[in-house]
Amino acid sequence: TSSAISKEPTQEPDNWRVYIKRLRQWIALLPASSKVHLSKEDMAQIMEFGPQVIYTVGETVTALRLAYVISTKLAIPIVIHFMDNWKHSVEWASNPLLKGYQRRLSKYCDLCYSRSTNCIAIGDRMAEVYQRETGIPHSVIMNSVDVSAFACESRERDGTLRFVYAGGLHLGREQALRAIGECIDCICEETGRQADFSIYTSAENIETHSEQFSHLKNTRICNAVPHEQIVEVYKRSDILVHVESSELESNEFFKYSVSTKISEYLATGRTILFFGPKNISLFGFLAQNKLAYTVSDDHELTEVISAMFNGMKNEFSQNARKYAEKHFDISVARKRFEAVIDSVDLPDSAK
């Protein structure tokens, strides 16, 4: 089925603009591969502090190399917390200039693994794959939130079904959001129902993408609000929207990634609509746990949004809030993190 989220990725023409783009990406990663020299004074201060564990999100050659050097000097273990799939691919994997960087990244990742007995992944699917590959347990810690602070009471209905999206318009998300806006317009025109779709995003995204939404009657592009005010935005919604596209699906770096907004969305107890490819981690996570309406093509999208005008499943919103309390609350994340730090040790081969 044709869909705004499943279009073939555009192939870059092999011209000077591409070469400049690749060169800029290579330059951008130079600081991420630079050598950091630890002086005697640096090591003295580190030893005075007396660390027992090194925690790192890795992601760069510099961070991993530094973690490995300190680990070997002090004979202490390393915990890597993976947020994206940089273990297998850099974000700009198609750039041939970055092949050497990827090799060094993989090398130091393996070296850090050789100094660990426990690591952390952002999601269950990543944890399962990485544990199978390395033999090392990976606990799961996603973006943690104060669930009670995000709770949203039922909104008094005013005759308008209100959809809200808060986030970026990169990685093809603008196409999926536009498709939702077009679907809402179609339904409103056919049925006479009223709806509002508010998209909160950065000024940079508005400047780049707002023209693509100018033809939509029920969609508004709004400036992003400070994070401490985002709950007020959520409270004005009936449905919170999240989208992904085939650009995320085809980028190995984001293969297991989960948007940091998801834990906030779940904590609100609001109904969630997810529109994205079926074979990405987030789709499976939301669908299997019955946390959201999950759709993957334009036909399903029309069916689900049409049904939403006639009422929504309370089961999804109730499940979402309970799941957030059990897995994403800061108190839960803290206990899980402490358990990893307390249990990690140097492997016998490194002692």
d(CA 107, CA 87): 10
pLDDT tens column, 23-74: 999 999 999 988 888 999 999 999 999 999 999 999 999 999 999 999 999 9
Residue 60 DSSP SS3: coil
- Give residue 157's pLDDT: 81
The pLDDT of 291-299, averaged and rounded, is: 95
Across the chain, mean pLDDT equals 91
Percent of the chain with pLDDT over 90: 77
pLDDT tens column, 232-274: 999 999 999 999 987 766 788 888 888 889 999 999 999 999 9
Contacts of 302 (CB under 8 A, 6+ apart): 183, 186, 187
Residue 341: pLDDT above 50? yes
d(CA 145, CA 16): 45
Cα maximum dimension of the chain: 74
d(CA 345, CA 172): 42
- Give residue 148's pLDDT: 94
330-343 vs 314-327: helix axis angle to the nearest 10? 40
d(CA 247, CA 245): 5
- Give residue 281's pLDDT: 82
Confirm if 107 and 63 have CB atoms less than 8 A apart: no
Where helices occur in the chain by DSSP H, the ranges are: 16-28, 40-49, 61-74, 99-113, 124-134, 147-150, 173-191, 203-209, 230-235, 246-249, 261-268, 281-288, 298-308, 314-327, 330-343
Residue 1: pLDDT above 50? no
Confirm if 350 and 114 have CB atoms less than 8 A apart: yes
Confirm if 2 and 299 have CB atoms less than 8 A apart: no
The pLDDT of 278-294, averaged and rounded, is: 91
Residue 101, token pair as written in the block: 């960087």
Contacts of 273 (CB under 8 A, 6+ apart): 163, 180, 239, 240, 241, 242, 292, 293, 295, 304, 305, 308
- Give residue 241's pLDDT: 98
Confirm if 215 and 138 have CB atoms less than 8 A apart: no
- In the chain, the amino acid numbered 167 is G
pLDDT tens column, 144-164: 999 999 999 888 888 999 999
Helix (H) or strand (E) segment spanning residue 220: strand 219-223
- Give residue 5's pLDDT: 62
Nearest to 262 by CA among 245, 280, 293, 241: 241
- Give residue 36's pLDDT: 85
Which of 98-112, 215-229, 244-258 is predicted with the least confidence, judged by mean pLDDT? 244-258
Q: What confidence tier does 137 reach under pLDDT thresholds 50, 70, 90? A: very high
Question: How large is the C-alpha radius of gyration of the chain?
Answer: 23
pLDDT tens column, 300-327: 999 999 999 988 778 899 999 999 999 9
Confirm if 44 and 19 have CB atoms less than 8 A apart: no
pLDDT: is 194 or 143 the higher one?
194
- Give residue 351's pLDDT: 83
d(CA 283, CA 276): 7
Residue 105, token pair as written in the block: 């990244």
Helix (H) or strand (E) segment spanning residue 349: none
- Give residue 4's pLDDT: 62
Residue 12: pLDDT above 70? no
- Give residue 266's pLDDT: 96
pLDDT: is 190 or 13 the higher one?
190
